[in-house]
Amino acid sequence: MEISVVIHTLNSESVIRQCLESVKGFDEIILCDMYSSDNTLAIAREYGATIVLHEPCGGIPEPARVFAIGQATKEWVFVVDSDEVVPPALKEYLYRSLSQAIPSEALFVPRRNFFMNKYMHSSFPDYQLRFFRKDKFVTWPPTVHSRPQIDGAVRRIPARKELAFIHLETNRIRAVVAKMNRYTDCEMDQSKNRNVGVGRLIGKPLYRFVQVYIFKGGFRDGKAGLIYALLQMYYKFIALSKCIEKREVAD
């Protein structure tokens, strides 16, 4: 059985070469570009990727992903972000799983995230549902942090570092903060005006900090781990604050 790798891009020249280098041994590469103005497409052509175009989707790439999945010609689809690297062990695991006739139609793939050039224990395994039979794919909801809908059984790849995506982006504070505003705007649009009181506004961010720094082991990552946990707390605070603003402040 064969695998199509599906990647969506928008001005991804800083990371796309590493991504494509890591997936060049797969049976097919479908690169869905949202009209990049940099060298993304030139790099993609070097690797023989099949290039398709889709209109920019704002902060939610799922419509481009759905379109790209539809262009894949192989039985299995592996969705990879342009800022992710697929280690050789993960590739070998996927093909070995297919040859063993796994009793499932999709796999959650673990992901290793880095921040301030340091691996974050608190965010591992950060499972992503990215590998599935094309004929079992239903849709991918156009919402923040959504997962594809699969018609069938789903299982998880073991949470081992050598079997995990390597996430190249969100490595620096600037990148994390830039994404915060985009993602929290999307969350606010999806919130359906839910009521957020003072208790929730204070309690949810604090719980997020404790969850990341204590329960998930962020304290093991030194100063970077503390900063990362505080940023996660701030993200939750901003998201809830925007929900309040949406309800109480007229445009």
Mind listing the pLDDT tens digit for each residue in 170-229? 678 888 888 888 888 877 766 655 678 889 999 999 999 999 999 999 999 999 999 999
What residue segments make up the domains of the chain, in order of their start? 3-167, 173-248
Nearest-CA neighbor of 121 among 229, 204, 234? 229
What is the rounded end-to-end Cα distance, in angstroms, of the chain?
54
Closest CA to 24 of 37, 43, 10: 43
Q: pTM here?
A: 0.88
Tell me the torsion sign for CA atoms 199, 214, 107, 14: positive
Q: Are the C-beta atoms of 178 and 103 separated by less than 8 Å?
A: no
pLDDT digits (tens, 9 = 90+) for 47-90: 999 999 999 887 788 999 999 999 999 999 999 999 999 999 99
**Cβ of 225: how many Cβ atoms within 10 Å?**
22
Architecture of 3-167 per CATH?
Answer: Alpha-Beta Complex (3.90)
**Residue 144: HSE in the Cβ half-sphere, 13 Å Cα cutoff:** 16
